[in-house]
Chain A
């Protein structure tokens, strides 16, 4: 009887050892919705490469990502906007070590519009966009718009501005851009995931905004580049800091990041809207992973570092298939170095 018990115990112990060795190391993350399709593809690919590691990501929104990583309920967070100084301080106060930003891919916002009889790609100057969204430019044939679009017959109709109703990273990028090119916007409205809009209507999500724009004559709104590409929408060019009218595409968005890379701060918290560079599309942005600089669990630490390293190198080849712009080489090199700070 005793022997049987011993044998059973040993067998159980062995089974447990085998089971734990094969059990997936589970890592959880939460945050931004914008890069979610990219992340879920990456996590899936990475799991195929290393079946021991399973990364669960919940796209609860950037605000939620920052909150959860600060509270320590997830292993890493993700956000479309960098954390503010206060948020970083709150993290440092709570944990005793900082949280680090790692850019993963790039996104951009594009202006989309519905003017009866106009099928041309319109050119928008920064002043025109700021004026329209501040409610100062109210007609499509206003000289601020018309002068940049010679040859396009713009009607004397009222512009109807459509913005996002819910808080979103898309709005953060758009308002960040407007804050950079217009002092009035910066002081009156500012940048955030949702703001007090001077004019216009709110639509829910990219699909809500594009739906309203498509339905309503003389409407102008902004949507994510990926959404515009996937739905083959008509969108305008925006004049960049070098005076060029640039159509947003994957190359011009990566160019914006490359333009900003020269002055990249060590913590990667940088806005690349209105970035320098001839080919740079001005309404572009990074999206970030938020990773604690100290991960006590060695297995988890190695897994997270391994994933980030893979994502920055091989993983970047997957981006364009999903219409995300990839990181410029300079940024990747700098990030790989910064990864050593995770201990």
Chain B
């Protein structure tokens, strides 16, 4: 009993150097372990690229850069071009974001700033639930609900009102880019709301109070102070949504029409990279065919990489400008 007390009282003073160094050793260990964890992320990324690169030797040699520029996808005559799939991936994701971002951010502002806490928390529960729904369920809902609604109501209405635009022309099958975009929008909205709400809630209280003290209305303080303050985080939620939309497979393949087409019209059936890989990989015969599908995987990876890079750039630019306006 006595000895214990001596050690306890002695250690901070007499053994302070060894204790510190031991602490530092612990730090080192923690640093090393967490570094390894972080490194696995990079390692996995590099491994994926390496494997995709190795697995796509044949088409890279045969088609070269033409793979990105040509739009024929013919397994019988072994001609493969990625352009329609890149187009479909970008278009469906763009449609999804165009619909989901205003809706999602609007909802997040309401939940974070305007709604009573109890309403906000209850709704948040449902939003988290939505985010956990498997994508194949969204695909089935897409086929049975969204497709008929699009075909019978939305598309004819768009044709009537906005038919002068090339985006809303051609026969309305209910299946195609627009529907895929709508299904994707439904899928990514929960992400945008959930993350944006958290970011908005984390804006310091004094920011709001300062704006209100200066005579701003509640909406003015929200729109002119809180939202710009949270801009980086909101953009982050959008990019999370974008990443999800770009890589979505099941829900898209069930409603996009699976036809490699490039068309002005959003009513046209199309195909996306993830969707064509999912549909064709299983029964692909012949090395060139299989490897072309693997190269598509590489293309999707690059596309995600480039878009993510652009996203970072946008964050850097807007956060600089954002702080500028906040000061002004």
Contacts and interface: CB of A to CB of B under 8 A. Distances in A.
Most chain B C-beta atoms within 10 Å of own C-beta, residue among A195, A197, A201: A201
B284 A63 contact: yes
B253 interface: yes
Contacts of B35: none
Interface string A173-201: 00000000000000001111111110011
A98 interface: no
Interface stretch (B73-81, B214-222, B317-325): B73-81
B175 interface: yes
A215 B259 contact: no
B283 A204 contact: no
Given A165-B279, A191-B76, A202 B285 contact: no
Contacts of A61: 282-283
Contact of B76 (A165, A189, A203): A189
A215 B144 CA distance: 9
Given A165-B253, A201-B175, A201-B269, A196 B279 contact: no
Interface in B154-198: 171, 173-175
Contact of A196 (B75, B257, B278): B75
Interface in B232-284: 253-254, 257-259, 269, 271, 278-280, 282-284
Bin the interface of chain A by size.
Answer: 20 to 34
Contacts of B257: 201-202
B134 interface: no
B57 to A, nearest CB: 17
A193 B147 contact: no
B72 A196 contact: yes
Contacts of A62: 283, 285
A166 B282 contact: yes
A219 to B, nearest CB: 9
Contacts of B72: 196
A128 interface: no
A72 interface: no
Nearest to A187: B77
B151 interface: yes
A195 B75 contact: yes
Given A158-B171, A165-B258, A201-B259, A63 B76 contact: no
Given A165-B258, A190-B76, A192-B75, A63 B282 contact: yes
A195 B271 CA distance: 14
Contacts of A64: 282-283
B143 interface: yes
Given A193-B285, A195-B74, A197-B259, A167 B280 contact: yes
A221 to B, nearest CB: 13
B171 A201 contact: no
Given A196-B72, A201-B269, A216-B174, A168 B283 contact: yes
A258 interface: no
Nearest to A158: B171
A201 B253 CA distance: 11
B153 to A, nearest CB: 14
30 contacts: A60-B282, A62-B283, A63-B284, A63-B285, A87-B285, A160-B173, A165-B253, A166-B258, A166-B279, A167-B279, A167-B283, A168-B283, A191-B76, A192-B75, A194-B75, A194-B283, A196-B73, A196-B74, A197-B259, A201-B173, A201-B258, A201-B259, A202-B258, A202-B259, A202-B269, A202-B271, A203-B258, A208-B254, A215-B147, A216-B173
Closest 3 CB pairs of A and B: A167-B283, A202-B258, A165-B258
Interface of A: 60-64, 66-67, 87, 158, 160, 165-169, 189-197, 200-204, 208, 211-212, 215-216
Given A166-B280, A194-B284, A204-B254, 13 more contacts: A64-B283, A160-B173, A166-B258, A166-B278, A167-B280, A167-B282, A192-B76, A192-B285, A193-B284, A201-B269, A202-B258, A203-B258, A215-B174
Interface of B: 72-77, 143, 147-148, 151, 171, 173-175, 253-254, 257-259, 269, 271, 278-280, 282-285
